[in-house]
Amino acid sequence: MELQDKIKEAARILSGAKRIVGFTGAGTSAESGIPPFRGEGGIWNKYDPNALDIDHYFRHTQDSWKIIREVFYNYFNNNEVKPNPGHEILAKWEQEGRLTCVITQNIDDLHTVAGNKTVYEFHGNMSRFICTKCGHKFPAREIQLTERPPHCEKCGGLLKPDFIFFGEGIPEDAYFNSIKAAENCDAFVIIGTSGQVSPANMIPGIAKRNGAKIIEINMEPSTYTNYISDLYLQGKSGEILPQIDALMER
C-alpha cells in the first residue's frame, strides 16, 4: 500500500475508534529539536551515560551533575524547544474525546505543554526535581541550577531530576495506568519509538492482545513493525499525524 492510502486507512480506523491511546518515544520530539540518546547525533556519543546511573549520581554527584545540567537544563530546556504538530494533534484528539491518554517514554514534558491532560510518564519528567531523601517534588523552574548539585530546601537531601535513572524502577502509577489503558483501548498509535527499551516495550503487545488496532508511525521500521503493527506509516510524525487528522470524520 502507498503511504497516501495508509494515511487514509489510519484516518478511517481512528475516526471509528472511541478509545485511542498514543504511545510515544524520542522520535516524537525529534522535530522539536530534541536529539535521541542513541544512534546518529545521539547524546550518549558525546557524554558518558554513567552520569544517569543512580549509584554513580550518589557516589560522584558533582561529576554527574555537571553533565546532567549541561545536557538537560542548558541544552534541552532552552526556550526554542516547543511542541511540534505531532504533539498538537494528540492534544486535539484528547480534547475531542477520542484519545484517552498518551503513554510516553519521553521526559521532555512536551505533551503536557501541547495541552494533553492525561499523560502517563513512563520514565518520569525532567521539568520536576525530586528529593532523594524526603521525596518532595519541586518544579525545575524553582530550583537554582548552579554548578553545585541542588539540595532540598525542606530536608537538605540531594535533589535529582524526576526522571528515572539507570538502576531505578518505573513510577508505579504510570506503570499500572499504562497497562490499564492498553488493555482498554480500541486503537493504539505507536509513534517514534524503536521498541528497544524495556519494560515500556511490552505495552503495545498488551493493546494488541486485547484487540486494539495498532498503527505505527516511524521514520524507520522498529521492533514492532513486523510483529505488532497492523498499519505501518513510514515518515515523520510531525508530518503524518496532521495528514491523518485532516482526513478524519467529524
Where in the sequence numbering do the catalytic residues fall?
A: 123
Contact pick of 8, 19, 36, 60 for ligand NAD (by CB under 6 A): 36
Q: Which of 223, 225, 233, 247 is nearest to 12 (CA)?
A: 247
Contact pick of 100, 105, 178, 229 for ligand NAD (by CB under 6 A): 105
Whole-Å CA distances, 23 to 87, 89, 146, 238 = 11, 13, 34, 15
Size of the site for ligand NAD (CB under 6 A): 28
Our finding on whether 192 is near ligand NAD (CB under 6 A) is yes
How far is it, in rounded angstroms, from Cα 151 to Cα 130?
10
**Residue 56 vs 87, nearer CB to ligand NAD:** 87
Contact pick of 14, 34, 119, 203 for ligand NAD (by CB under 6 A): 34
Residue type at 242 in one-letter notation: P
Q: Which of 23, 49, 37 is nearest to 167 (CA)?
A: 49
**Residue 108 vs 152, nearer CB to ligand NAD:** 108
Our finding on whether 178 is near ligand NAD (CB under 6 A) is no
- Min. distance of Cβ 200 from ligand NAD in angstroms? 6
Q: How many CA atoms lie within 13 A of 173 on its CB side?
A: 5
State which of positions 65-104 bind ligand NAD (CB under 6 A): none
**Phi-psi region at 39: left, alpha or beta (left = phi > 0; alpha = psi -120 to 50):** left
**Stretch (H or E) spanning 189:** strand 187-191
State which of positions 157-176 bind ligand NAD (CB under 6 A): none
Contact pick of 220, 226, 249, 250 for ligand NAD (by CB under 6 A): 220
**Residue 26 vs 185, nearer CB to ligand NAD:** 26
How far is it, in rounded angstroms, from Cα 64 to Cα 201?
27
Contact pick of 77, 127, 222, 229 for ligand NAD (by CB under 6 A): 222
Beta strands in 34-108 (DSSP E): 99-104
**Residue 75 vs 151, nearer CB to ligand NAD:** 75
Q: Using CB under 6 A, list all residues that contact ligand NAD.
A: 25-27, 29-31, 34, 36-38, 105-108, 123, 192-194, 196-197, 217-220, 222, 236-238
